[in-house]
Amino acid sequence: MLRKEIINKEMGNQEITKKQENYDYLLFLGCLIPTSLPYMEIAARKSLEILNIKLKETNDFACCPDPVGIKAMDEITWLSLGARNLCVAQKIGLDILTLCNGCYETLKETSHILKEQKETLEKVNKILSSVNKEYKGNIIVKHIAEVLYKEVGTSKISSVVKKPLKNLKVSAFYGCHVVRPSEIMEFDDPENPKFLDELIEALGAESVPRMRKMLCCGAPLLGVNMELSLEMAKNNLDYIKASGADCIVTLCPFCQTQFDRNQAVIQRKFNLDYNLPALYYPELLCLALGVEPEKLGFNLHRVKVDPILEKIL
């Protein structure tokens, strides 16, 4: 049996989202957003607040951890650290909302593996007993974009837009792990997803097509292979520039780091000039919902966002 068939067979049982009376989700901040990219956090919080998604918070979460390095080095350690976070949600009694593609992949895949593979769950629980925890295998993990697209919905979002982002051409950058591996993430097509394009158009902006939409940003290689990492980001910037977009819209702090913080490095290295502002989708959403730009920390972006603000306000 092929993997797809095996997994499809195993995915039969319907899941029920857990809710506490006053909250919809437990917020999983991750590491990179709250420390390096707080402007992403403020936009996520403000947009969800306006759309009436209520978040509970906790200090008990630790790093997701990283689905690339930590997982490769030792899968059982990766699963155990991830499962510890799931246990925190289990105790509070809420499902998890993540702001990052990496946290999303780690926690969703951990939850998937521990549900499907009883032997692995036993192994992990043995390790978790050292911190007095036991995972029972029933926490659902969502990405902020998934909640916006599947729960709030594009028609509701369009209906509350106060400032339609007319004349703005946007390049949608999904990132790999929000949709892949597709039989686990089950969000959208792994090669040609549409949800972010639709979320952008719901704000009145135009999502412009480009070559190699799902080419990796290269961020996972930053610590181990800087050169290739920057080359991958550069290839993406080339395609985005050629598409005629005014800006990039991301869903992940790692893609955001490549396109915002590292854009200047790439420009210098390859002697090129892109000047492409990169925004996290919730930032764009906040602007369309009428949040004042001064409250969103745009000054923290490395690539100036002013031309975009002038265009839409």
Residue 77 sits at the vertex; the CA angle it makes with 118 and 145, to the nearest 5 degrees, is 80
Give the one residue of 11, 70, 160, 265 binding other proteins; rule: CB under 8 A: 70
Of 159-167, 215-223, 260-268, 269-277, which part binds other proteins (CB under 8 A)?
A: 215-223
Selected binder of other proteins within 60, 122, 134, 306 (CB under 8 A)? 60
Q: Does 90 bind other proteins (CB under 8 A)?
A: no
Q: How far is the CB of 175 from other proteins (least distance, A)?
A: 9
d(CA 63, CA 70): 11
Q: Which of 13, 131, 268, 292 binds other proteins (CB under 8 A)?
A: 131
Pairing outcome for strands 169-172 and 96-98 = unpaired
Q: Long-range contacts of range 189-198, CB-CB < 8 Å, 24 or more positions apart?
A: 190/214, 195/145, 195/149, 196/145, 196/172, 196/249, 196/251, 196/281, 197/172, 198/149, 198/154
Q: Which is nearer to other proteins, 10 or 156 (CB)?
A: 10
Question: Least distance in Å: CB of 203 to other proteins?
Answer: 22
Start-to-end C-alpha separation, the chain: 55
Residue 191 binds other proteins (CB under 8 A): yes
Comparison of 205 and 232: residue with beta carbon closer to other proteins: 232
218 torsion bin: left (phi>0), alpha (psi -120 to 50), beta (else): left
Token pair recorded at residue 173 = 């950058």
Residue with tokens 């009376």: 21
State yes or no: residue 214 binds other proteins (CB under 8 A). Answer: yes
Which segments within the chain are labelled E, that is strand? 25-28, 55-56, 96-98, 141-143, 169-172, 206-207, 247-250, 278-280
42 binding other proteins? (CB under 8 A):
yes
String of b and e for 156-195 (b: at least 16 CB within 10 Å)? ebeeebeeebeebbbbbbbbbbbbbeebbbebbebeebeb
What is the phi/psi pair of residue 206, to 5°?
Answer: -105, 130
* Part of the chain binding other proteins (CB under 8 A), chosen from 15-23, 32-40, 134-142, 263-271: 32-40
Q: Which residue in the set 17, 35, 167, 192 belongs to the binding site for other proteins (CB under 8 A)?
A: 35
Tokens of 32: 């990179």
Judged by CB, which is closer to other proteins: 18, or 177?
Answer: 177
Q: Which of 69, 93, 209, 290 binds other proteins (CB under 8 A)?
A: 69
Phi and psi at 97, nearest 5°, equal -115, 125
Q: In the complex with other proteins, which residue's Cβ is closer, 212 or 304?
A: 212
Residue from 24, 41, 95, 188 touching other proteins (CB under 8 A): that is 41
Q: Does 180 bind other proteins (CB under 8 A)?
A: yes
If binding is defined by CB under 8 A, does position 127 make contact with other proteins? Answer: yes
Residue 66 binds to other proteins (criterion: CB under 8 A): yes
Distance CA 26, CA 93 (A): 9
Q: Which of 211, 228, 264, 313 binds other proteins (CB under 8 A)?
A: 228
Binding site for other proteins (CB under 8 A): 2-4, 6-7, 31-32, 34-36, 38-39, 41-42, 45, 57, 59-63, 65-77, 80-81, 84, 127-128, 130-131, 133, 176-177, 180-182, 190-191, 214-216, 218-221, 223-225, 228-229, 232, 235, 295, 297, 300
